[in-house]
Structure 1
Amino acid sequence: MLNTIPDEVNFLDCTLRDGGYYTNWDFAPELVSDYIATINTLPVRMVELGLAGKPESHGYFASVTSSKAEQVAAGLLVKACVMIDAKDVLASELPIPIAVIRLTEGLVPGHITTVRVAAHYSNLAACRNICAELSHRGFRVFLNLMQIDAANAAEVEMCLKEVKQIDTLDVLYIADSFGSMKPTRVQELISLFADRIEPDIGFHGHDNRGYALVNSVAAAMAGATWIDCTMGGMGRGAGNT
């Protein structure tokens, strides 16, 4: 099956972030060292080191900073990213640019080249300024469009229009947040977005119905050039690809 994936597909390993739901974002240093060494032998383009901006009580990899990245990923041979939740910015009483700065304190472009923004599809319009501020600070910006399978045709069309207004976006991810999609639905959404927007397209699968792997292949065949994966499929709920 994997032999059918186009060569231009980039794999992003998000074990330390999505797998962190099982460990409260704490991983033993020895395990992280082994993980980094293993990643360096695999065709992985980028590693997600965890979340940024969460309370320290959530675990070490829930509040990643550049100094932490330098420590834990010193030997990493590929690029690194972190994820922030758009809802953490939008819930703040501060103006969005200031809220983004507060949430990402301690992050500077370097070991971490990219920030991924997780956003519900209904909040896409409000993410424009979030993406703009991150880009202004020198980060590449990936946006994970969550729960999009629950959107109706009109809402999907609105998402397409809103994405076109975000000119600082590098990659738009279709996230199968509920693990509810079948391959035909994945192909439908990936093809729709790939045909009509400028940013590259990614796919983040969940395995609730056992389709995470086949859905990832379907996404790649439909035009996605970024695919999320984790070690052993470790991830929230039923797991990932």
Structure 2
Amino acid sequence: MTLLDCTLRTSGQLIGATPSPQLVADYLAVCARIGIDVIELGPVHDPAGRTGGPLPDLLPDLLPDLLLVAPTQWYGPRFAVLLDAAELPMGDGPAAAAADRIAERIATAPLPVGLVRVAVRYDEVARAAAPLGRLREAGFGVCLLLTEIDLASYPELDRCLAETAALGPLDAVFLVDSLGSLRPERVIELVQSTRAAVPAPVGIHAHDNQGFALHNTVVARSAGATWQDAAVHGIGPGAGVTRTEQLLALLGAAPSDLGPLLELIATHFAPLKRRYGWDAGPRQVMAGLARIPVAAVRGLGVS
């Protein structure tokens, strides 16, 4: 099993800025002790293109803080970054050139980023082919994140998985519950279909709109998913995601082993939750049930 913690990225999305240096330092110190396999640092963008998204580029803004706690040697989890294929230019040539620029920027970073996760909507997998290929050629491990996967009809899912299988070697393929709409039975179906069609490990990234994030993560694991996303205290926009502390406890971590993580939550993440309030409130629940973005819920008469 591979546990990937995406706290730094999802917290940045929530607050619209990179986390504080002290939070980053304390977080990394805890991650090195509690069994996290991969730390996702945040988004990375084409240096020659538009920045895209709510956050600035990872490398100039976050790495100085990371270097405070890992200045020369790092013996903890691997580092990953996230690339949104929708931000890349259209066409294989321009997309490949953008991926080359991104690969060069990551390779020259002072921290050893070894894994790039490329996010793409389930019906646009072909857009990821060129950048994935160039990143792989540059020596990075590559993962594919299939977003909004719950919206795929059966013919669309078959086409999506066939295109994914044709992408070449992948470290993992993640099923992303972008709308917080996945039900456990659908999770099992998606994991089994992906395992049957794609020669790569399967992962799950679960949102908590309906209160199912942890349950869906465990169900995915029972169906054969071997990569699991989580974030400390579930931090993230909307309802948040699977909680790292709950998942570790379910996987058998002793209370004493979880002590540093719980202290981290009390110091940094509980205050953030009081301020930003990510949770499965009425709008988040309704959005998950209706399989629509939370922003569209006001149109259904729910405030």
Question: Which range is displaced more, 85-94 or 186-195?
Answer: 85-94
Correspondent of 2:27 among 35, 41, 44 = 35
For 1:32 and 1:183, the matched residues in 2 are separated by: 33
For 2:165 and 2:147, the matched residues in 1 are separated by: 17
For 2:113 and 2:69, the matched residues in 1 are separated by: 10
Q: Which residue of 1 aligns with 2:67?
A: 71
Q: After superposition, what is the alpha-carbon deviation per residue over 1:102-123, rounded to whole angstroms, capped at 9, x for unaligned? A: 3455211861000000100111
1:68 Cα deviation after fit: 2.1
For 2:173 and 2:130, the matched residues in 1 are separated by: 16
Q: Which residue of 2 aligns with 1:96?
A: 95
Kindly report which structure 2 residues correspond to 1:27-176, keeping only aligned pairs within 5 A, or say none: 27-53=19-45, 55=51, 58-59=54-55, 62-64=57-59, 68=63, 71=67, 74=70, 75=74, 77-91=76-90, 95-108=94-107, 111-176=112-177
For 2:2 and 2:17, the matched residues in 1 are separated by: 24
Residues 67/19 of structure 1: CA separation in 2 closer, same or farther (3 Å cut) = closer
Residues 199/71 of structure 1: CA separation in 2 closer, same or farther (3 Å cut) = same
Q: CA RMSD in A?
A: 2.4
Q: Which residue of 1 aligns with 2:10?
A: 18
Q: Which has the higher contact order (CA 8 A, sep 6+)?
A: 1
For 1:184 and 1:121, the matched residues in 2 are separated by: 19
Which structure has the greater CA radius of gyration?
Answer: 2
| TM-score of the aligned structures, taking structure 1 as reference length | 0.88
Q: Which residue of 1 aligns with 2:248?
A: none
1:42 Cα deviation after fit: 1.2
Residues 72/202 of structure 1: CA separation in 2 closer, same or farther (3 Å cut) = farther
Q: After superposition, what is the alpha-carbon deviation per residue over 1:87-132, rounded to whole angstroms, capped at 9, x for unaligned? A: 1114589622112123455211861000000100111022111110
Task: Give the SS at the match of 1:11.
Answer: strand
Task: Give the SS at the match of 2:123.
Answer: helix
Q: After superposition, what is the alpha-carbon deviation per residue over 1:152-202, rounded to whole angstroms, capped at 9, x for unaligned? A: 000000011101111132210000110101111101100111122211100
For 1:172 and 1:27, the matched residues in 2 are separated by: 28
Count of residue correspondences: 232
CA contact (8 A) 2:92 2:130 kept: no
CA contact (8 A) 2:178 2:207 kept: yes
CA contact (8 A) 2:41 2:58 kept: no
* Bigger share in strand: 1
Question: Which range is displaced more, 161-170 or 178-187?
Answer: 161-170
Flag structure 2 segments of 5+ consecutive residues without an equivalent.
243-303
Residues 92/165 of structure 1: CA separation in 2 closer, same or farther (3 Å cut) = closer
Flag structure 1 segments of 5+ consecutive residues without an equivalent.
1-8
| TM-score of the aligned structures, taking structure 2 as reference length | 0.71
Task: Give the SS at the match of 1:55.
Answer: coil
* Bigger share in helix: 2
Percent sequence identity over aligned pairs = 33
